[in-house]
Amino acid sequence: MLSRVGDYLSFAEDDELALFDLPTPQPQPAATDARTGRGRARETHARTVTADVTVQRIPILREAALRAYDDSPAIPISDADDDGPDTRDQIATDSSTALSWLLDPTQDLWPLLEADAIHLLAVDIDIDQTTPTRCRARWTVTVKLRDVAAFRRVALASCPTEHAAAREEINRSLAAAWQHAADPYAPLRHIPGVMFTPIEVTVEHFHARSGRQLHDG
């Protein structure tokens, strides 16, 4: 499992990459909210997104990941294994590592963060590689709700006024509101050299008595 917490990535794609490597928009499965409701302030919720990813152009994916790695701040790790491959070497030779490095689950969450609607608690990424060019990607974003009204305002702002049923669902369901406030598959749409098939989006409410330990920074 590959995991990052609070890791914000951004990089500019050059014109050559953007010209032919942005994935074709895919239909999105509706978010499942059987374990959540309208949402209340101070509740903890997690959204998990699953997709099957095919790497169409391995060199382009790895080049973009290396560029992002080289542009990121260096963080020394005191107990690193000197005999093992370093991160840059792994990115250059392994597509799943390159994909994980470019996958930013916080993509499109900024409107919610800027509205002080949520507090970001944790980000987890899991890349299960099945072949050299295919893998199943799963990522989870865990947040604490701050201002549910602001959350819904962000969601409604992206939902056309003529879509009355969708707007009503936003008012009833936190999962639906999250779906409109932040595209669940945005993290993959910004990665060059890949295409993907949406599999599942789920939103779960963690009750205090569940015993799940989360750090509220």
Cα 176 to Cα 80: distance, rounded to the nearest angstrom: 42
Query: Would you state the pLDDT for residue 43?
Result: 96
Closest listed residue to residue 187, CA positions, set 118, 85, 107: 107
152 — phi, psi (to 5°)? -70, -35
Query: Would you state the pLDDT for residue 29?
Result: 53
Query: Would you state the pLDDT for residue 32?
Result: 58
Query: Which CA distances in Å does 199 have to 4, 137, 145, 157, 180?
Result: 22, 10, 26, 26, 18
> Which sign, positive or negative, has the C-alpha torsion 167, 189, 129, 132?
positive
Per-residue pLDDT of the chain (217 residues; tens, 9 = 90+): 333 333 333 333 333 333 334 444 444 555 555 445 788 999 999 999 999 999 999 999 999 999 999 998 766 555 555 545 699 999 999 999 999 999 999 989 999 999 999 999 999 999 999 998 999 999 999 999 999 999 999 999 999 999 999 999 999 999 999 999 999 999 999 999 999 999 999 999 987 654 444 444 4
Query: Would you state the pLDDT for residue 72?
Result: 83
C-beta separation of 152 from 171 below 8 A = yes
Q: Where are the domains of the chain?
A: 23-72+86-147+184-206
Query: Would you state the pLDDT for residue 14?
Result: 35
Query: With the CA atoms of 60, 63, 69 and 70 taken in that order, what torsion angle do they form, in degrees rounded to the nearest 10?
Result: -150
**pTM of the entire structure?**
0.77
Cα 98 to Cα 69: distance, rounded to the nearest angstrom: 9
> What number of residues does the chain have?
217
C-beta separation of 198 from 186 below 8 A = no
209 — phi, psi (to 5°)? -80, -5
C-beta separation of 214 from 124 below 8 A = no
Closest listed residue to residue 197, CA positions, set 37, 53, 10: 53
